[in-house]
């Protein structure tokens, strides 16, 4: 695959990733108090199905070893599951504004460290790399500011993962309130930040393990699906038992039925985004650059909030969002200029 095609594939992967949780907006309105475990169960099943579907697709395209079992892929699937668990914790403790930006920053930072320390990629220009990181991390904070400004102005700031996954009380119109973390104590803030960093850590391990597996990334994906299924079978019952032990009520049977379609759609979109991320890596894009493009899902979620849900309003928050988006894109370009992949 040519470089331009690989970058285009990564851009599409970011679009899928940023749209993955949008279907649950309707589910949250229809089913107030939706439990995280319900969403994660359906999400994991659909995400695993998409990864597994790449095996017959590879066989149909004549790919050799299309049914190859890769142990590191199973580990990567478990990492996907753990990243999702951390998403829920981060959303609950940080609320709607800071969580996605912290996740993007930690994901890109961990990917860069892994590229330099594990994959032994080289730095072509240290100052370009430093400027790129400053732009990406700083402008991610700018996206958070645009969301927080909309919230302070009285608008509903619910965007992508955040409000959709928070265990929030419904408003009179059926929309969920933001997670009650705006007045969170220091302990809750520490837990939320640690969880957001955990999302970046576990999430960045997935493409890293694909590179370390010494097989083509497309052959890595079916084993990721197996790992997701294994984690789902073992992890969801554990999560439900822990919730009950902590005093949560039993999950109503109606919740399992009412969100089946939206939960499966959400996981399917994420699964497609993850598959395309690996295709882009196979096309030769350096890991930190691919990860930065993939985390442009943060911007995609913001666009959904502005143009579809009308959740970011007012000239100042919208201007802050688009300026920050431009800064993130500029940072990615500089990051690509500052990195050199080891051949």
Predicted confidence (pLDDT) per residue in 276-303, tens digit? 998 888 888 888 888 888 888 878 877 8
Q: How many CA within 13 A on the CB side of residue 323? A: 12
Q: pLDDT grade, residue 96 (50/70/90)? A: low
Q: pLDDT grade, residue 273 (50/70/90)? A: very high
pLDDT at 269 (0 to 100) = 94
Long-range Cβ contacts of 252-258 (<8 Å, 24+ apart): 254/31, 255/31, 255/34, 255/35, 255/38, 256/38, 258/27, 258/30, 258/31
| Cβ–Cβ < 8 Å for 198, 83 | yes
Instruction: Give the C-alpha separation, 236 to 36, whole Å.
Output: 10
**Opening angle at CA 27, ends 300 and 183, nearest 5:** 70
pLDDT at 129 (0 to 100) = 83
The better pLDDT of the pair 320, 81 is held by 81
- Per residue in 64-93, pLDDT tens? 778 888 999 999 999 999 998 888 788 777
pLDDT at 80 (0 to 100) = 93
Instruction: Give the C-alpha separation, 36 to 164, whole Å.
Output: 10
**Residue 273 CB-density burial (10 A; 0-12 exposed, 13-18 middle, 19+ buried):** buried
How many CB atoms lie under 10 A from the CB of residue 59?
13
| Residue 83 in tokens | 């990243």
64, 69, 72, 74: CA torsion to nearest 10:
130
| Cβ–Cβ < 8 Å for 267, 43 | yes
Q: What is the mean pLDDT of residues 205-224?
A: 89
- Per residue in 110-144, pLDDT tens? 988 888 888 877 777 788 888 888 888 888 777 77
| Contacts of residue 253, Cβ cutoff 8 Å, sequence gap at least 6 | none
The better pLDDT of the pair 170, 334 is held by 334
Q: Is the pLDDT of residue 328 over 90?
A: no
| Cβ–Cβ < 8 Å for 14, 294 | yes
The tally of domains found in the chain comes to 1
Q: Which of 45, 113, 119, 117 is nearest to 84 (CA)?
A: 45
Domain span holding position 48: 3-340
Q: Which of 236, 266, 230 is nearest to 251 (CA)?
A: 236
Instruction: Give the C-alpha separation, 151 to 134, whole Å.
Output: 26
């Amino acid at each position: 695959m040519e470089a331009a095609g690989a970058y285009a594939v990564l851009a599409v992967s970011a679009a899928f990733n940023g749209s993955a949780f949008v279907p649950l907006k309707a589910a949250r309105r229809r089913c107030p108090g939706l439990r995280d475990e319900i969403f994660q169960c359906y999400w994991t099943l659909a995400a695993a199905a998409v990864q597994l579907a790449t095996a017959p697709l590879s066989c149909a395209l004549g790919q050799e070893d299309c049914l190859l079992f890769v142990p590191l892929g199973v580990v990567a699937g478990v990492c996907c599951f753990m990243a999702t668990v951390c998403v829920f914790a981060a959303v609950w403790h940080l609320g709607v504004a800071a969580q996605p930006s912290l996740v993007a920053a930690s994901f890109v930072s961990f990917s860069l460290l892994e590229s330099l320390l594990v994959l032994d990629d080289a730095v072509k220009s240290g100052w370009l790399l430093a400027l790129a990181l400053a732009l990406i991390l700083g402008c991610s904070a700018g996206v958070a500011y645009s969301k927080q400004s909309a919230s302070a102005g009285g608008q509903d700031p619910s965007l992508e993962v955040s409000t959709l996954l928070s265990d929030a009380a419904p408003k009179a119109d059926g929309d969920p309130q933001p997670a009650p973390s705006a007045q969170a104590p220091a302990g809750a803030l520490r837990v939320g930040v640690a969880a957001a960093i955990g999302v970046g850590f576990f999430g960045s391990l997935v493409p890293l393990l694909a590179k370390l597996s010494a097989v083509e990334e497309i052959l890595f994906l079916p084993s990721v699906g197996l790992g997701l299924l294994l984690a789902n079978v073992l992890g969801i019952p554990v999560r439900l038992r822990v919730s009950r032990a902590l005093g949560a009520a039993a999950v109503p049977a109606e919740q399992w039925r009412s969100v089946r379609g939206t939960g499966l759609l959400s996981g399917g979109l994420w699964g497609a985004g993850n598959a395309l991320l690996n295709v882009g890596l196979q096309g030769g894009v350096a890991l930190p650059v691919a990860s930065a493009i993939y985390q442009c899902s943060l911007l995609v979620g913001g666009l959904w909030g502005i143009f579809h849900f009308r959740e970011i309003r007012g000239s100042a928050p919208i201007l802050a969002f688009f300026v920050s988006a431009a800064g993130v894109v500029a940072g990615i370009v500089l990051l690509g200029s500052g990195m050199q992949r080891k051949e």
